[in-house]
Structure 1
C-alpha cells in the first residue's frame, strides 16, 4: 500500500507546513488562529494534525483565509528544497 503511505506522508507534510506558517505569523494557538481567520476550530485542527482527507477546495479556502496564499503557492512552498546558507567569507 505505497499510495496510502504517500498520502499519509503528504497530509502530515501539509499539517507541518501550516503549523510552521502559523507560528511564523506569531500565532501560538491554533484555536485562536482558526477563530481569527473565521475558520472552524476542529476543521483547522484536523488539517494541522494531518487527519482525514480534506477536499482540495476546503484546503484552498483555508490556506487563502489563513495565510493569504493561493493553493498553488502553498504547494510550491511545500515542495521547495530549503536553500543552504553559504557561510559568509571571513575577513
Structure 2
C-alpha cells in the first residue's frame, strides 16, 4: 500500500471502530455477527488491510447502514 491508500484505510478503520463502539458492541461479538474473523476486523479497524467489498457490506449491515454511508468521508 502506498501512503495515500494507507491513510484512507486508517480513516475507514477508525470510522468503523467508532461506529461499533457507539453501538456498545465489543469487537468479538461484532465480528461474529458480521460473519468475519475477529482478527480480520482488528486489522480493518487498525487500517492494516484492504478489506474486500463483501466484507465491507457485512460490516455496513452490522452497523445498520448502507455501504455508501460507511464509505462516505
Q: TM-score, normalised by structure 2?
A: 0.80
The alpha-carbon deviation at position 36 of structure 1 amounts to: 3.6
Tell me the residue number matched to 2:71: 75
The higher-RCO structure (CA 8 Å, 6+ apart) is 2
Counterpart of 2:59 (choices 58, 62, 68) is 62
- When the two chains are superposed, the root-mean-square deviation of aligned CA atoms in Å is 1.8
Contact 1:63/1:74 (8 A) holds in 2: yes
Structure 1: gaps (5+ residues): 80-91
- Please state whether the residue corresponding to 1:69 is helix, strand or coil: coil
Structure 2: gaps (5+ residues): none
Aligned length: 73
Contact 1:11/1:50 (8 A) holds in 2: yes
